[in-house]
Structure 1
Amino acid sequence: MGNSLLETCNNWQVRRAEILARNPDMAMTVDSLDSLIERTVRSAIEIAHRVDWDFREAERRAKEVAAAGIKVNGE
């Protein structure tokens, strides 16, 4: 996810510069888009951290269960 997110941000910077070069009067619109993109990226990072934490927590709990010798349905 990180590489595609970085690539998308880089592509936006290129497009942003092209838009502003051709249409300087769109600066406020582009600034609004920048804010939207920033919030979106921050949300994506937060979600990725939560998912990573959930998987690490699940792994830790599974190890605790295995160490305690607790049988899970089907095993």
Structure 2
Amino acid sequence: MANIKHTKNELKVQRDALRRYERFLPMLQLKKQQLLAEIQSLDVQIAECARRQEQLRAGASAWLPLLNEEPD
């Protein structure tokens, strides 16, 4: 823990810091919650894109032998 001077001025500084902390902490917690929800949403979208990409690759692999053939 930090050393704190035991003076009136230092007490005021510490009280002001506590007020700022108590004022902004709920907003920061809400922002954190929103960011975590957005990350979770993006994870779902990434998984869906990966699944769709795999489907497209599987569908395209059936056509690859035809593309390698020489035209008549």
Q: TM-score range by the shorter chain?
A: 0.5 to 0.7
- Normalised by the length of structure 1, the TM-score is 0.54
Deviating 4+ runs (over 4 angstroms): none
Q: As a proportion of its length, which structure holds more helix?
A: 1
- Normalised by the length of structure 2, the TM-score is 0.55
The structure with the largest alpha-carbon Rg is 2
Deviations 1:40-64 (A, max 9, x none): 1011111111111111100011101
Cα RMSD of the aligned pairs, angstroms, is 2.2
Letter of the 1:48 partner, please give it: D
* Number of corresponding residues: 49
User: Unaligned 5+ residue runs, structure 2?
Assistant: 1-17
Pick 1 or 2: higher relative contact order, CA cutoff 8 A, min separation 6. Answer: 1
Amino-acid identity (%):
8
